Structure formats: C-alpha cells, structure tokens
Structure 1
Amino acid sequence: MRETPNFTGWRVTVVHREDSNTERLVRQLRLLGAQSALQWSPLGTTAVPDLVIVDADQGWDDLLPWRDTRPACPVVALLGSEAPGRIAWALEQGAGAIIAKPVAASAVYPALVMAVSIHQERQTVAERVKFLEERVRLRPLVHAAVERLMSVHAVNEERAYAILRDCAMRRRLPMEQLAAFIIGGAEPLPEVG
C-alpha cells in the first residue's frame, strides 16, 4: 500500500457486545468518517461491509462467514486476552490487526490502516499464486509442443524450447498459450530460424 486510506464513507461492522469499548470505538470511527453498525450476531454473507471489527475474546467459529477461506474484507480483532487460543482464532478469521482492550482512540486508525494493507497484500499474493498455478497446470502443453518441434525439426530439446520461446515473444503470447495453439492445430509449427 502506497498511501494510507481515507475511511470516509466506509461501512464498518463491529461484531461485539455493546460496552464502553464499543462506545469509544464507534466514536472514533465516526471521527474518521466511517459509518458503523454494532451487532452481536453472525455476520451474513450478503452486504459484506468494507471492514469488520470483531470481538476475539468471545467470538466463535461461525461468527464470520469466511471460515477456512480468505476474508471478503479487512478484519480487525478486538482483544483483551493474551490467551494463545484467542489470538489463533483471530488469525483464523483473517485478522490483519489487533486493537487491545480497553480501546484507546489512538490505536484505532493505525489498526484499520494495517488491516487494509494486509488484506490488499493477501489479495495480491492470492492472485499471483492463482496465476502461477495456472501456468504450472499448463506446463505439459509446453512440453508436448517442445517434443513436437523436436520431432518435426530434428533438433534437441534445448533448441526446440528456444524456438517456442522466441515465437511466443515475437507474437507477444504466453508460451503456454502458443503451445496450446500448436498442439491443438490452430497454429502452424514455428520455423527454425
């Protein structure tokens, strides 16, 4: 994240019982320009807010809808306990930051920024992993195209790979896509150059 976010207009759901901590938290969110809703019931899957702040001391597994998946929005945990199990629960829920109880007004903004930054970083990494997994999944096509070039042009594997790579670069296509075209017969075999 290059710049700190402006939370004006953000919808924040605080999943916590009403108490003095939530009063300070809601007041600070209002000063940051965020619209907050306080609830002590499971968060629904429809109308996910821009950010969730959850009570990690008393939270349970079905409180947030994204158990075992990536959170749909940044998550901040409110934590008054040092219990390892409660910290682990907060991490399992996707918390990117923790605000210690009792809530100090000066802790809210940094925690929100940290949670947003970590959420964005997680999304970027997940997209990159998905891209790389797709390329790995398509690697057999590249191998098959290289074998075909080896047999047709009577060249070694290294030279066949270089031919495929050079052709892909000239056409500005990923090697996997060009290999799929060649194997599928939609693309003529590149010439040895």
Structure 2
Amino acid sequence: MRETPNFTGWHAAIIHREDGNTERLIRQLRLLGIRATLQWAPLSAAELPQIVIVDADQGWDDLLPWTGTNPACPVVALLGSEAPGRIAWALERGAGAIIAKPIATSAVYPALVMAVSIYQERKNNAERLQYLEERVRLRPLVHAAVEKLMNARGLDEERAYAILRDCAMRRRLPMEQIAAFILGGVEPLPEVG
C-alpha cells in the first residue's frame, strides 16, 4: 500500500473495557471520521468491522472470531504491559500495529495506517502464494502436454516446451491452461514453426 487510507465512514470495533483510554481513542477515531463501537465481549464473525482494536493486556483466545495470524480485517492491539506473552498473543491474532497504553492521540492514526497496510500486504501475499501453489499443482499437466508434443511431432523436450510456451503467450493464457486444453483435446496440437 503506497497511499494512506481515508478512514472516513469506516467502522472500528474496540474490544476493551470502558476507561479513560477508550474515551481518548473513541474521540480520536471520531476526528478521523471513524464510527467506533465499544464492547468487552467476543466479536461476532457475522458483523465484522473494517478494523478491530483489541485489548491485548486482557484478551483471550476466543475474543476474536478467527484463529491464527490471518485475521478477517486489520487489527490494532492496545498494550500497556511489556509481557512477552501478551505481545505474542497480539501477534498470534494478526495485529499489524500496537498502540501503547496510556493512549496518546498522536499514536492512533499511524497505528491504523500500519495495521491496514500490513493486513493488505498479508492478504496479497496469501493470494500470491495460493496462485503459485495452484501453478505448481498443475505442473504435471505441462509436463504431460510437453510429452504429447514430443511424441506427436518428434521434438526434443526443450523445443516442445518452447512451442507450448509460445502458444500460451500468443493466446495470453497460462501454460497450465493451454496444457489442459491440449491434453483434453479442446486445443489442437500447436504446429511446429
């Protein structure tokens, strides 16, 4: 993310007991155009906000509706202690930023930007990884199509692969898709040129 987001119209769920910190936080969020709700109960997966701000000092495992470090939305942890276990808890819940308690209003906006940026980066990386894993999973199709070209046209492996690659480039499709078309008989064998 290269641009800082405009938070106007966003909804933030603050999972924390009401105190002076939450009052300052809510006031600062309102100045940023964010509608904030305060609760000290587990967050419902059915109504996720655009961002979650959670008390990492007293949080427990079932407080957020996801497990692991892949949260459903950006997460900011509120932390007043230096206890390694509390920091680890926040990181395990996918926190992308921490605001130290007592809350300084000048720390809120940078933490929100950081959390959103890290969330988006994690999401992009997960999508890229899924795409690459799918390509690796389909790699045997490419190998089978190369073998089919080698046998049908009497080519060596390198030349057959080059023809398959060129065909995919001309059609602007992934090699795996062209290979599947060739193996399924949907696509005729490319001509040797």
Fold shared by both chains (TM-score > 0.5): yes
Question: 5 Å matches for 1:73-88?
Answer: 73-88=73-88
Q: What is the distance in 2 between the residues matched to 1:33 and 1:171?
A: 47
Residue 183 (structure 1) aligned with residue 183 (structure 2): yes
Q: Could you say which residue in structure 1 is the equivalent of 2:141?
A: 141
- CA deviations 1:1-46 (Å, max 9, x no partner) are 1211111111000000011111111111111111000000000011
Q: What residue identity is the alignment partner of 1:12? A: A
Q: What is the distance in 2 between the residues matched to 1:192 and 1:102?
A: 71
Is the 2:135–2:176 contact (alpha carbons within 8 Å) kept by the matching residues of 1? yes
Cα shift at 1:86: 0.6
Residue 132 (structure 1) aligned with residue 132 (structure 2): yes
Q: What is the distance in 2 between the residues matched to 1:109 and 1:168?
A: 46
Cα shift at 1:74: 0.5
Q: What is the distance in 1 between the residues matched to 2:172 and 2:71?
A: 35
Q: Could you say which residue in structure 1 is the equivalent of 2:71?
A: 71
Aligned residues: 193
Q: Could you say which residue in structure 2 is the equivalent of 1:153?
A: 153
Residue 155 of structure 2 aligns to a residue in which SS?
A: coil
Q: What residue identity is the alignment partner of 2:74? A: P
Question: 5 Å matches for 1:28-177?
Answer: 28-68=28-68, 70-177=70-177
Q: What residue identity is the alignment partner of 2:24? A: R
Residue 12 of structure 1 aligns to a residue in which SS?
A: strand
Cα shift at 1:155: 1.1
Identity of aligned residues (%): 78
Cα shift at 1:69: 5.8
Cα RMSD of the aligned pairs, angstroms, is 0.9
Q: Taking structure 2 as the reference length, what is the TM-score of the superposition?
A: 0.98
Q: What residue identity is the alignment partner of 2:43? A: L
Residue 95 of structure 1 aligns to a residue in which SS?
A: coil
Q: What is the distance in 2 between the residues matched to 1:100 and 1:68?
A: 22
Q: What is the distance in 1 between the residues matched to 2:140 and 2:164?
A: 14
Q: What is the distance in 2 between the residues matched to 1:71 and 1:156?
A: 48
Cα shift at 1:70: 1.7
Cα shift at 1:174: 0.9
Is the 2:68–2:94 contact (alpha carbons within 8 Å) kept by the matching residues of 1? no
Cα shift at 1:68: 2.3
Is the 2:146–2:160 contact (alpha carbons within 8 Å) kept by the matching residues of 1? yes
Q: Could you say which residue in structure 1 is the equivalent of 2:17?
A: 17
Q: What is the distance in 2 between the residues matched to 1:16 and 1:106?
A: 20
- For structure 2, which runs of at least 5 residues remain unmatched after alignment? none
Residue 119 of structure 1 aligns to a residue in which SS?
A: helix
Q: What residue identity is the alignment partner of 1:115? A: A
Residue 43 of structure 1 aligns to a residue in which SS?
A: coil
Q: After TM superposition, which residue ranges in structure 1, 4 or more long, deviate above 6 angstroms? A: none
Structure 1 residues 69 and 80: CA distance shift in structure 2, 3 A = closer
- For structure 1, which runs of at least 5 residues remain unmatched after alignment? none
